[in-house]
Structure 1
Protein backbone atom coordinates (compact mmCIF):
# COMPACT_ATOMS: atom_id res chain seq x y z
CA UNK A 1 0.00 0.00 0.00
CA UNK A 2 1.29 3.49 -0.78
CA UNK A 3 0.11 6.83 0.52
CA UNK A 4 1.42 10.36 0.08
CA UNK A 5 2.32 12.48 3.11
CA UNK A 6 5.03 14.99 4.03
CA UNK A 7 8.23 14.59 6.02
CA UNK A 8 10.76 17.25 6.88
CA UNK A 9 8.60 19.75 5.02
CA UNK A 10 8.85 17.77 1.78
CA UNK A 11 6.33 15.49 0.02
CA UNK A 12 7.01 11.85 0.79
CA UNK A 13 5.91 8.59 -0.77
CA UNK A 14 5.11 6.13 1.99
CA UNK A 15 5.12 2.40 1.23
CA UNK A 16 3.63 0.06 3.81
CA UNK A 17 4.07 -3.71 4.09
CA UNK A 18 1.15 -5.98 3.18
CA UNK A 19 -1.54 -6.42 5.81
CA UNK A 20 -0.31 -8.85 8.44
CA UNK A 21 3.32 -8.38 7.46
CA UNK A 22 4.04 -5.37 9.65
CA UNK A 23 6.63 -5.42 12.40
CA UNK A 24 5.51 -5.08 15.99
CA UNK A 25 6.21 -1.43 16.76
CA UNK A 26 6.74 1.17 14.07
CA UNK A 27 9.88 0.65 12.01
CA UNK A 28 10.91 2.92 9.12
CA UNK A 29 13.37 2.76 6.25
CA UNK A 30 14.09 6.30 5.03
CA UNK A 31 14.94 5.85 1.33
CA UNK A 32 16.62 8.57 -0.75
CA UNK A 33 16.33 8.31 -4.53
CA UNK A 34 19.07 8.81 -7.09
CA UNK A 35 19.35 11.15 -10.06
CA UNK A 36 22.64 12.99 -9.64
CA UNK A 37 21.11 15.57 -7.27
CA UNK A 38 19.49 17.26 -10.30
CA UNK A 39 16.83 14.78 -11.43
CA UNK A 40 14.77 11.86 -10.23
CA UNK A 41 11.87 11.36 -7.86
CA UNK A 42 10.60 8.73 -5.44
CA UNK A 43 8.37 7.08 -8.05
CA UNK A 44 11.04 5.00 -9.92
CA UNK A 45 12.15 3.63 -6.55
CA UNK A 46 8.66 2.34 -5.70
CA UNK A 47 9.28 -1.32 -6.73
CA UNK A 48 12.45 -1.47 -4.63
CA UNK A 49 10.67 0.17 -1.69
CA UNK A 50 7.74 -2.24 -1.96
CA UNK A 51 10.04 -5.27 -2.00
CA UNK A 52 12.03 -4.01 0.99
CA UNK A 53 8.84 -3.25 2.89
CA UNK A 54 7.48 -6.72 2.26
CA UNK A 55 10.75 -8.45 3.21
CA UNK A 56 11.47 -6.41 6.35
CA UNK A 57 7.98 -5.54 7.61
CA UNK A 58 9.03 -1.88 7.80
CA UNK A 59 7.42 1.21 6.32
CA UNK A 60 9.56 2.75 3.58
CA UNK A 61 9.38 6.52 3.26
CA UNK A 62 10.80 8.30 0.21
CA UNK A 63 10.98 12.11 0.45
CA UNK A 64 11.07 14.27 -2.67
CA UNK A 65 14.11 16.28 -1.62
CA UNK A 66 14.97 19.51 -3.45
CA UNK A 67 17.10 19.29 -6.58
CA UNK A 68 19.77 21.36 -8.30
CA UNK A 69 20.20 23.70 -10.04
CA UNK A 70 17.27 25.51 -8.43
CA UNK A 71 18.28 24.15 -5.03
CA UNK A 72 22.03 23.41 -4.91
CA UNK A 73 24.08 21.93 -2.08
CA UNK A 74 23.32 21.67 0.81
CA UNK A 75 19.54 21.73 0.14
CA UNK A 76 19.27 17.97 -0.41
CA UNK A 77 21.24 17.28 2.78
CA UNK A 78 19.02 19.66 4.75
CA UNK A 79 15.90 17.94 3.43
CA UNK A 80 17.21 14.47 4.24
CA UNK A 81 18.27 15.57 7.71
CA UNK A 82 14.89 17.21 8.22
CA UNK A 83 13.14 13.98 7.28
CA UNK A 84 15.26 11.97 9.70
CA UNK A 85 14.74 14.48 12.50
CA UNK A 86 10.99 14.46 11.83
CA UNK A 87 10.89 10.70 12.28
CA UNK A 88 12.66 11.04 15.62
CA UNK A 89 10.36 13.87 16.71
CA UNK A 90 7.40 11.76 15.66
CA UNK A 91 8.34 9.10 18.16
CA UNK A 92 10.14 6.55 15.98
CA UNK A 93 13.14 5.33 18.02
CA UNK A 94 16.51 5.64 16.28
CA UNK A 95 17.09 1.90 16.58
CA UNK A 96 13.93 1.37 14.51
CA UNK A 97 15.09 3.56 11.64
CA UNK A 98 17.41 2.67 8.76
CA UNK A 99 18.55 5.07 6.04
CA UNK A 100 19.04 3.81 2.49
CA UNK A 101 19.78 5.42 -0.84
CA UNK A 102 20.68 4.58 -4.39
CA UNK A 103 23.34 6.33 -6.51
CA UNK A 104 23.41 10.00 -5.46
CA UNK A 105 20.86 9.02 -2.84
CA UNK A 106 23.41 6.58 -1.43
CA UNK A 107 25.89 9.39 -0.96
CA UNK A 108 23.12 11.58 0.42
CA UNK A 109 22.14 8.92 2.96
CA UNK A 110 25.62 8.91 4.45
CA UNK A 111 25.93 12.70 4.21
CA UNK A 112 22.70 13.03 6.19
CA UNK A 113 24.05 10.76 8.91
CA UNK A 114 27.33 12.67 9.11
CA UNK A 115 25.32 15.86 9.58
CA UNK A 116 23.03 14.15 12.10
CA UNK A 117 26.11 13.18 14.12
CA UNK A 118 27.36 16.78 14.04
CA UNK A 119 23.94 17.92 15.24
CA UNK A 120 24.00 15.51 18.17
CA UNK A 121 21.18 13.33 16.89
CA UNK A 122 21.22 9.60 17.67
CA UNK A 123 22.34 7.33 14.89
CA UNK A 124 19.84 5.01 13.20
CA UNK A 125 20.15 1.25 13.35
CA UNK A 126 21.81 0.91 9.94
CA UNK A 127 22.54 2.56 6.60
CA UNK A 128 22.66 1.16 3.05
CA UNK A 129 24.13 2.60 -0.14
CA UNK A 130 23.31 1.04 -3.51
CA UNK A 131 25.89 1.99 -6.15
CA UNK A 132 26.55 5.05 -3.99
CA UNK A 133 28.13 8.24 -5.31
CA UNK A 134 30.45 9.13 -2.44
CA UNK A 135 33.19 11.20 -4.10
CA UNK A 136 32.20 14.26 -6.12
CA UNK A 137 35.83 14.98 -7.08
CA UNK A 138 35.46 12.23 -9.73
CA UNK A 139 39.09 11.28 -9.26
CA UNK A 140 38.78 7.52 -8.78
CA UNK A 141 40.57 5.10 -11.10
CA UNK A 142 37.28 3.35 -11.89
CA UNK A 143 36.31 6.11 -14.34
CA UNK A 144 39.06 4.96 -16.70
CA UNK A 145 38.93 1.29 -15.78
CA UNK A 146 35.17 0.93 -16.24
CA UNK A 147 34.53 3.44 -19.03
CA UNK A 148 33.79 0.66 -21.49
CA UNK A 149 31.72 -1.48 -19.11
CA UNK A 150 29.35 1.08 -17.59
CA UNK A 151 26.40 1.81 -19.92
CA UNK A 152 24.73 4.18 -17.46
CA UNK A 153 27.27 6.68 -16.10
CA UNK A 154 30.42 8.43 -17.26
CA UNK A 155 32.68 11.18 -15.97
CA UNK A 156 31.28 14.01 -18.17
CA UNK A 157 27.69 13.42 -17.09
CA UNK A 158 28.65 13.18 -13.43
CA UNK A 159 30.88 16.25 -13.75
CA UNK A 160 27.86 18.19 -15.03
CA UNK A 161 25.70 16.94 -12.15
CA UNK A 162 28.38 17.75 -9.59
CA UNK A 163 28.84 21.25 -10.99
CA UNK A 164 25.12 22.03 -10.80
CA UNK A 165 24.78 20.56 -7.33
CA UNK A 166 27.90 22.02 -5.75
CA UNK A 167 27.47 25.49 -7.30
CA UNK A 168 31.03 26.36 -6.29
CA UNK A 169 31.19 24.44 -3.00
CA UNK A 170 34.25 22.31 -2.26
CA UNK A 171 33.65 18.76 -3.54
CA UNK A 172 35.75 17.42 -0.66
CA UNK A 173 33.29 18.71 1.92
CA UNK A 174 32.11 15.54 3.72
CA UNK A 175 28.46 16.60 3.49
CA UNK A 176 28.90 16.53 -0.31
CA UNK A 177 31.42 13.67 -0.55
CA UNK A 178 31.18 11.37 2.50
CA UNK A 179 34.39 9.64 1.40
CA UNK A 180 36.31 12.58 2.90
CA UNK A 181 34.77 12.41 6.38
CA UNK A 182 37.36 12.14 9.14
CA UNK A 183 37.96 8.98 11.14
CA UNK A 184 36.00 10.20 14.16
CA UNK A 185 32.91 10.85 12.08
CA UNK A 186 33.23 7.56 10.19
CA UNK A 187 33.56 5.61 13.43
CA UNK A 188 30.35 7.21 14.72
CA UNK A 189 28.24 5.89 11.85
CA UNK A 190 25.95 2.90 12.35
CA UNK A 191 26.62 -0.40 10.54
CA UNK A 192 26.73 0.28 6.81
CA UNK A 193 26.15 -1.99 3.82
CA UNK A 194 27.36 -0.86 0.39
CA UNK A 195 26.61 -2.67 -2.86
CA UNK A 196 28.18 -1.82 -6.21
CA UNK A 197 28.92 -3.43 -9.55
CA UNK A 198 32.53 -4.12 -10.38
CA UNK A 199 31.73 -2.87 -13.90
CA UNK A 200 30.47 0.61 -12.93
CA UNK A 201 32.43 3.84 -12.74
CA UNK A 202 31.39 4.29 -9.09
CA UNK A 203 32.86 0.93 -8.07
CA UNK A 204 35.80 2.51 -6.27
CA UNK A 205 33.57 4.88 -4.29
CA UNK A 206 32.09 1.94 -2.41
CA UNK A 207 35.38 0.10 -1.90
CA UNK A 208 37.33 3.19 -0.81
CA UNK A 209 34.64 4.28 1.63
CA UNK A 210 34.42 0.78 3.07
CA UNK A 211 38.18 0.65 3.58
CA UNK A 212 38.26 4.08 5.25
CA UNK A 213 35.32 3.34 7.56
CA UNK A 214 36.75 -0.04 8.55
CA UNK A 215 40.16 1.52 9.25
CA UNK A 216 38.41 4.08 11.48
CA UNK A 217 36.90 1.27 13.55
CA UNK A 218 33.45 1.34 11.97
CA UNK A 219 31.34 -1.56 10.73
CA UNK A 220 31.06 -1.40 6.93
CA UNK A 221 30.25 -4.35 4.69
CA UNK A 222 30.98 -3.91 0.96
CA UNK A 223 29.41 -6.28 -1.57
CA UNK A 224 30.87 -6.05 -5.06
CA UNK A 225 28.79 -7.77 -7.73
CA UNK A 226 29.68 -9.19 -11.15
CA UNK A 227 27.33 -9.29 -14.12
CA UNK A 228 25.43 -6.19 -13.02
CA UNK A 229 25.37 -2.48 -13.75
CA UNK A 230 24.72 0.77 -11.91
CA UNK A 231 21.74 0.52 -9.52
CA UNK A 232 20.60 -2.83 -10.87
CA UNK A 233 18.69 -3.28 -7.58
CA UNK A 234 15.97 -0.95 -8.90
CA UNK A 235 14.96 -3.68 -11.37
CA UNK A 236 13.88 -5.97 -8.54
CA UNK A 237 10.66 -6.78 -10.42
CA UNK A 238 12.60 -7.95 -13.50
CA UNK A 239 16.16 -9.15 -12.79
CA UNK A 240 17.18 -12.20 -10.75
CA UNK A 241 20.41 -10.38 -9.79
CA UNK A 242 18.33 -7.55 -8.37
CA UNK A 243 16.18 -9.97 -6.38
CA UNK A 244 19.32 -11.52 -4.89
CA UNK A 245 20.90 -8.16 -4.05
CA UNK A 246 17.74 -6.78 -2.45
CA UNK A 247 17.40 -9.98 -0.48
CA UNK A 248 20.86 -9.35 0.96
CA UNK A 249 19.87 -5.77 1.82
CA UNK A 250 16.72 -6.99 3.55
CA UNK A 251 18.69 -9.50 5.60
CA UNK A 252 21.09 -6.75 6.67
CA UNK A 253 18.26 -4.44 7.66
CA UNK A 254 16.40 -7.17 9.53
CA UNK A 255 19.59 -8.05 11.40
CA UNK A 256 20.08 -4.50 12.69
CA UNK A 257 16.61 -3.06 13.14
CA UNK A 258 15.23 -3.54 16.65
Structure 2
Protein backbone atom coordinates (compact mmCIF):
# COMPACT_ATOMS: atom_id res chain seq x y z
CA UNK A 1 0.00 0.00 0.00
CA UNK A 2 1.26 3.47 -0.85
CA UNK A 3 0.44 6.35 1.47
CA UNK A 4 -0.30 9.35 -0.79
CA UNK A 5 1.53 10.21 -4.01
CA UNK A 6 2.95 13.53 -2.89
CA UNK A 7 5.30 14.61 -0.13
CA UNK A 8 4.15 17.46 2.08
CA UNK A 9 6.16 20.69 2.05
CA UNK A 10 6.86 20.28 5.75
CA UNK A 11 8.26 16.80 5.15
CA UNK A 12 10.44 18.04 2.30
CA UNK A 13 11.87 20.68 4.62
CA UNK A 14 12.51 18.08 7.32
CA UNK A 15 14.19 15.82 4.77
CA UNK A 16 16.48 18.66 3.70
CA UNK A 17 17.39 19.37 7.32
CA UNK A 18 18.19 15.70 7.96
CA UNK A 19 20.39 15.59 4.86
CA UNK A 20 22.19 18.79 5.85
CA UNK A 21 22.96 17.47 9.34
CA UNK A 22 24.13 14.05 8.15
CA UNK A 23 26.27 15.34 5.30
CA UNK A 24 27.92 18.26 7.11
CA UNK A 25 30.80 17.01 9.32
CA UNK A 26 30.48 19.83 11.87
CA UNK A 27 26.71 19.51 12.24
CA UNK A 28 26.93 15.73 12.30
CA UNK A 29 29.50 15.77 15.11
CA UNK A 30 27.36 18.18 17.09
CA UNK A 31 24.34 15.92 16.63
CA UNK A 32 26.36 12.85 17.67
CA UNK A 33 27.49 14.61 20.85
CA UNK A 34 23.90 15.53 21.64
CA UNK A 35 22.80 11.96 21.02
CA UNK A 36 25.53 10.49 23.22
CA UNK A 37 24.58 12.89 26.00
CA UNK A 38 20.97 11.79 25.58
CA UNK A 39 21.98 8.11 25.84
CA UNK A 40 23.88 8.75 29.06
CA UNK A 41 21.00 10.69 30.61
CA UNK A 42 18.37 8.20 31.81
CA UNK A 43 16.36 10.84 33.69
CA UNK A 44 14.02 11.62 30.83
CA UNK A 45 11.05 13.75 31.84
CA UNK A 46 7.85 11.96 30.92
CA UNK A 47 4.41 13.55 31.32
CA UNK A 48 2.97 13.24 34.85
CA UNK A 49 0.57 10.45 33.88
CA UNK A 50 3.48 8.15 32.95
CA UNK A 51 5.78 6.39 35.41
CA UNK A 52 9.09 4.70 34.57
CA UNK A 53 10.92 1.90 36.38
CA UNK A 54 14.62 1.34 35.65
CA UNK A 55 15.52 -2.35 35.54
CA UNK A 56 19.06 -3.73 35.74
CA UNK A 57 19.34 -7.12 34.06
CA UNK A 58 23.06 -7.45 34.78
CA UNK A 59 24.35 -7.51 31.22
CA UNK A 60 21.93 -4.83 30.05
CA UNK A 61 19.27 -2.43 31.29
CA UNK A 62 15.60 -1.82 30.57
CA UNK A 63 13.01 0.87 31.20
CA UNK A 64 9.43 -0.13 32.03
CA UNK A 65 6.94 2.64 31.29
CA UNK A 66 3.39 2.50 32.64
CA UNK A 67 0.34 4.75 32.30
CA UNK A 68 -0.91 5.61 35.78
CA UNK A 69 -4.34 4.12 36.36
CA UNK A 70 -4.51 2.33 32.99
CA UNK A 71 -6.35 -0.98 32.84
CA UNK A 72 -4.89 -1.91 29.45
CA UNK A 73 -3.52 -5.47 29.88
CA UNK A 74 -1.11 -5.24 26.93
CA UNK A 75 2.59 -4.41 26.90
CA UNK A 76 4.76 -3.14 24.05
CA UNK A 77 8.32 -4.46 23.82
CA UNK A 78 10.40 -1.73 22.14
CA UNK A 79 13.70 -2.62 20.46
CA UNK A 80 15.44 0.58 19.42
CA UNK A 81 17.47 1.23 16.28
CA UNK A 82 20.97 2.60 15.90
CA UNK A 83 22.74 0.01 13.76
CA UNK A 84 23.36 -2.20 16.83
CA UNK A 85 25.97 0.42 17.81
CA UNK A 86 23.96 3.16 19.52
CA UNK A 87 22.06 2.85 22.78
CA UNK A 88 18.69 3.91 24.15
CA UNK A 89 18.43 7.68 23.76
CA UNK A 90 15.89 10.36 24.53
CA UNK A 91 14.23 10.07 21.13
CA UNK A 92 13.33 6.45 21.85
CA UNK A 93 11.93 7.43 25.21
CA UNK A 94 9.71 9.91 23.38
CA UNK A 95 8.67 7.07 21.08
CA UNK A 96 7.89 4.92 24.13
CA UNK A 97 5.55 7.65 25.31
CA UNK A 98 3.91 7.74 21.87
CA UNK A 99 3.47 3.96 21.89
CA UNK A 100 1.75 4.20 25.28
CA UNK A 101 -0.52 6.96 23.97
CA UNK A 102 -1.57 5.41 20.65
CA UNK A 103 -2.21 2.04 22.31
CA UNK A 104 -4.57 3.64 24.83
CA UNK A 105 -2.42 3.03 27.86
CA UNK A 106 -0.42 -0.15 27.22
CA UNK A 107 2.82 -0.48 29.19
CA UNK A 108 6.08 -0.13 27.24
CA UNK A 109 9.32 -2.01 27.97
CA UNK A 110 12.33 -0.42 26.23
CA UNK A 111 15.43 -2.62 26.04
CA UNK A 112 18.87 -1.00 26.20
CA UNK A 113 20.56 -4.09 24.79
CA UNK A 114 24.31 -4.67 24.51
CA UNK A 115 26.03 -3.03 21.55
CA UNK A 116 28.62 -3.83 18.90
CA UNK A 117 31.54 -3.76 18.38
CA UNK A 118 32.15 -4.80 22.00
CA UNK A 119 29.19 -7.16 21.89
CA UNK A 120 28.52 -8.53 18.38
CA UNK A 121 25.85 -11.09 17.47
CA UNK A 122 24.16 -12.79 19.30
CA UNK A 123 24.32 -10.34 22.25
CA UNK A 124 21.44 -8.08 21.17
CA UNK A 125 19.25 -11.08 20.33
CA UNK A 126 20.02 -12.76 23.66
CA UNK A 127 19.01 -9.57 25.48
CA UNK A 128 15.78 -9.29 23.47
CA UNK A 129 14.90 -12.88 24.35
CA UNK A 130 15.69 -12.20 28.03
CA UNK A 131 13.43 -9.12 27.96
CA UNK A 132 10.60 -11.16 26.42
CA UNK A 133 10.97 -13.82 29.11
CA UNK A 134 11.03 -11.08 31.78
CA UNK A 135 7.63 -9.93 30.55
CA UNK A 136 6.32 -13.50 30.60
CA UNK A 137 7.62 -13.95 34.15
CA UNK A 138 5.94 -10.68 35.11
CA UNK A 139 2.62 -12.19 34.13
CA UNK A 140 2.09 -11.07 30.53
CA UNK A 141 0.84 -13.87 28.29
CA UNK A 142 2.43 -13.91 24.83
CA UNK A 143 -0.86 -12.81 23.25
CA UNK A 144 -0.65 -9.63 25.35
CA UNK A 145 2.80 -8.65 24.04
CA UNK A 146 3.33 -6.51 20.93
CA UNK A 147 6.92 -6.23 19.70
CA UNK A 148 8.01 -3.03 17.97
CA UNK A 149 11.31 -1.90 16.48
CA UNK A 150 12.83 0.58 14.07
CA UNK A 151 15.81 0.13 11.77
CA UNK A 152 18.12 -2.42 13.45
CA UNK A 153 15.45 -2.82 16.11
CA UNK A 154 12.94 -3.79 13.42
CA UNK A 155 15.23 -6.55 12.20
CA UNK A 156 15.92 -7.59 15.78
CA UNK A 157 12.18 -7.85 16.45
CA UNK A 158 11.88 -10.32 13.56
CA UNK A 159 14.96 -12.25 14.71
CA UNK A 160 13.40 -12.44 18.17
CA UNK A 161 10.29 -14.09 16.75
CA UNK A 162 12.42 -16.58 14.80
CA UNK A 163 14.36 -17.46 17.94
CA UNK A 164 11.17 -17.82 19.99
CA UNK A 165 9.74 -20.19 17.37
CA UNK A 166 12.94 -22.27 17.33
CA UNK A 167 12.84 -22.57 21.11
CA UNK A 168 9.19 -23.57 21.14
CA UNK A 169 8.17 -20.33 22.83
CA UNK A 170 4.81 -18.73 21.99
CA UNK A 171 4.80 -15.81 19.56
CA UNK A 172 3.76 -12.27 20.50
CA UNK A 173 0.39 -10.87 19.45
CA UNK A 174 1.80 -8.55 16.79
CA UNK A 175 4.92 -6.93 15.36
CA UNK A 176 5.54 -3.37 14.15
CA UNK A 177 8.67 -2.64 12.10
CA UNK A 178 9.60 0.89 11.04
CA UNK A 179 12.22 0.98 8.26
CA UNK A 180 13.55 -2.43 9.38
CA UNK A 181 17.15 -3.42 8.63
CA UNK A 182 16.69 -7.03 7.59
CA UNK A 183 19.62 -7.66 5.22
CA UNK A 184 23.06 -6.99 6.71
CA UNK A 185 24.54 -8.64 3.61
CA UNK A 186 23.41 -5.47 1.77
CA UNK A 187 22.08 -7.11 -1.39
CA UNK A 188 19.04 -4.98 -2.20
CA UNK A 189 19.03 -2.76 -5.30
CA UNK A 190 17.84 0.17 -3.19
CA UNK A 191 21.26 0.36 -1.50
CA UNK A 192 22.65 1.73 -4.76
CA UNK A 193 19.47 3.02 -6.40
CA UNK A 194 18.55 5.27 -3.48
CA UNK A 195 22.03 6.24 -2.32
CA UNK A 196 21.90 9.74 -3.76
CA UNK A 197 18.43 10.53 -2.39
CA UNK A 198 18.72 8.93 1.08
CA UNK A 199 19.33 11.86 3.48
CA UNK A 200 20.38 9.60 6.36
CA UNK A 201 22.77 7.08 4.79
CA UNK A 202 23.26 8.40 1.27
CA UNK A 203 26.29 10.24 -0.10
CA UNK A 204 28.49 10.85 2.96
CA UNK A 205 25.64 10.41 5.41
CA UNK A 206 26.81 7.17 7.02
CA UNK A 207 26.36 4.36 4.52
CA UNK A 208 29.66 2.85 5.63
CA UNK A 209 27.99 1.79 8.89
CA UNK A 210 25.65 -0.37 6.85
CA UNK A 211 28.35 -1.81 4.63
CA UNK A 212 30.67 -2.86 7.44
CA UNK A 213 28.50 -3.72 10.43
CA UNK A 214 30.52 -4.90 13.46
CA UNK A 215 27.38 -6.64 14.74
CA UNK A 216 27.98 -9.49 12.28
CA UNK A 217 31.30 -10.37 13.91
CA UNK A 218 32.75 -13.60 12.55
CA UNK A 219 29.33 -14.87 11.49
CA UNK A 220 27.59 -15.20 8.15
CA UNK A 221 25.71 -11.98 7.36
CA UNK A 222 22.95 -14.11 5.81
CA UNK A 223 22.25 -15.92 9.07
CA UNK A 224 18.48 -15.31 9.47
CA UNK A 225 18.99 -14.32 13.11
CA UNK A 226 21.25 -11.51 11.86
CA UNK A 227 19.43 -10.82 8.60
CA UNK A 228 15.80 -11.98 8.97
CA UNK A 229 15.18 -11.51 5.24
CA UNK A 230 16.86 -14.89 4.70
CA UNK A 231 14.67 -16.64 7.25
CA UNK A 232 11.25 -18.27 7.29
CA UNK A 233 8.26 -16.28 8.53
CA UNK A 234 5.78 -19.12 8.83
CA UNK A 235 3.82 -18.80 12.06
CA UNK A 236 4.67 -15.13 12.59
CA UNK A 237 2.09 -12.84 14.18
CA UNK A 238 0.42 -10.06 12.15
CA UNK A 239 2.98 -7.49 11.04
CA UNK A 240 2.87 -3.80 10.17
CA UNK A 241 5.90 -2.70 8.13
CA UNK A 242 6.45 0.95 7.21
CA UNK A 243 9.14 2.38 4.92
CA UNK A 244 9.91 5.54 2.96
CA UNK A 245 10.61 5.73 -0.77
CA UNK A 246 13.90 7.58 -0.19
CA UNK A 247 15.55 4.86 1.88
CA UNK A 248 18.57 2.78 1.01
CA UNK A 249 16.89 0.15 3.18
CA UNK A 250 13.69 0.19 1.12
CA UNK A 251 14.25 -3.30 -0.29
CA UNK A 252 14.89 -4.66 3.22
CA UNK A 253 11.32 -3.80 4.12
CA UNK A 254 9.72 -4.66 0.78
CA UNK A 255 11.42 -8.06 0.47
CA UNK A 256 10.41 -9.16 3.95
CA UNK A 257 6.83 -7.98 3.47
CA UNK A 258 6.55 -9.95 0.21
CA UNK A 259 8.15 -13.08 1.63
CA UNK A 260 6.08 -13.07 4.82
CA UNK A 261 2.84 -12.61 2.86
CA UNK A 262 3.75 -15.53 0.60
CA UNK A 263 4.29 -17.64 3.73
CA UNK A 264 0.85 -16.87 5.08
CA UNK A 265 1.57 -14.05 7.50
CA UNK A 266 -0.96 -11.20 7.73
CA UNK A 267 1.14 -8.22 6.65
CA UNK A 268 0.29 -4.57 6.19
CA UNK A 269 3.09 -2.96 4.20
CA UNK A 270 2.87 0.81 3.81
CA UNK A 271 5.18 2.93 1.67
CA UNK A 272 5.42 6.66 2.47
CA UNK A 273 6.29 8.83 -0.52
CA UNK A 274 9.44 10.92 -0.15
CA UNK A 275 10.12 9.73 3.38
CA UNK A 276 13.50 9.01 4.89
CA UNK A 277 14.83 6.41 7.31
CA UNK A 278 12.69 6.18 10.48
CA UNK A 279 10.85 9.38 9.64
CA UNK A 280 8.47 8.43 12.45
CA UNK A 281 10.94 10.04 14.85
CA UNK A 282 9.41 13.31 13.68
CA UNK A 283 6.37 12.49 15.81
CA UNK A 284 3.51 14.79 14.86
CA UNK A 285 5.73 17.52 13.35
CA UNK A 286 5.17 16.39 9.75
CA UNK A 287 1.90 15.02 8.31
CA UNK A 288 3.48 11.77 7.07
CA UNK A 289 4.88 10.87 10.48
CA UNK A 290 1.60 11.73 12.15
CA UNK A 291 -0.24 9.42 9.74
CA UNK A 292 2.33 6.68 10.33
CA UNK A 293 1.74 6.82 14.08
CA UNK A 294 -2.01 6.81 13.54
CA UNK A 295 -1.56 3.71 11.40
CA UNK A 296 0.46 2.05 14.16
CA UNK A 297 -2.31 2.90 16.63
CA UNK A 298 -4.98 1.42 14.37
CA UNK A 299 -2.90 -1.74 13.91
CA UNK A 300 -2.35 -2.11 17.64
CA UNK A 301 -6.02 -1.66 18.48
CA UNK A 302 -6.87 -4.29 15.89
CA UNK A 303 -4.35 -6.68 17.48
CA UNK A 304 -5.64 -5.90 20.97
CA UNK A 305 -9.27 -6.35 19.97
CA UNK A 306 -11.58 -5.71 22.91
CA UNK A 307 -8.90 -6.63 25.46
- 1:134 correspondence with 2:186: no
Aligned residues: 250
Per the normalisation by structure 1, the TM-score is: 0.92
Report how far residue 250 of structure 1 moved.
Answer: 1.2
Per the normalisation by structure 2, the TM-score is: 0.78
Instruction: State the Cα RMSD in Å.
Output: 1.5
Report how far residue 42 of structure 1 moved.
Answer: 4.4
Unpaired runs of 5+ residues, structure 1, are: none
Report how far residue 237 of structure 1 moved.
Answer: 4.5
Residues in 2 aligned to 1:48 and 1:111: alpha-carbon distance in whole angstroms: 21
Larger radius of gyration: 2
Residues in 2 aligned to 1:251 and 1:77: alpha-carbon distance in whole angstroms: 28
Residues in 2 aligned to 1:74 and 1:248: alpha-carbon distance in whole angstroms: 32
Residues in 1 aligned to 2:93 and 2:159: alpha-carbon distance in whole angstroms: 22
- 1:4 correspondence with 2:53: yes
- Say if 1:237 and 1:47 are closer, same or farther in 2 by CA, change over 3 A: farther
- Among residues 172, 184, 195, which one is paired with 2:222 in the alignment? 172
Q: Secondary structure at the match of 1:100?
A: strand
Residues in 1 aligned to 2:149 and 2:166: alpha-carbon distance in whole angstroms: 20
* 1:4–1:11 Cα contact (<8 Å) kept: no
Q: C-alpha deviations, 1:62-99, integer Å up to 9, x for none?
A: 01000001111000000001100111122101111000
2-11 or 194-203: bigger deviation: 2-11
Q: C-alpha deviations, 1:94-144, integer Å up to 9, x for none?
A: 111000001100000111111011111111100011000000110100011
* 2:87–2:113 Cα contact (<8 Å) kept: no
- Say if 1:255 and 1:228 are closer, same or farther in 2 by CA, change over 3 A: same
Residues in 1 aligned to 2:89 and 2:164: alpha-carbon distance in whole angstroms: 22
Alignment-derived partner of residue 251 in structure 1: 298
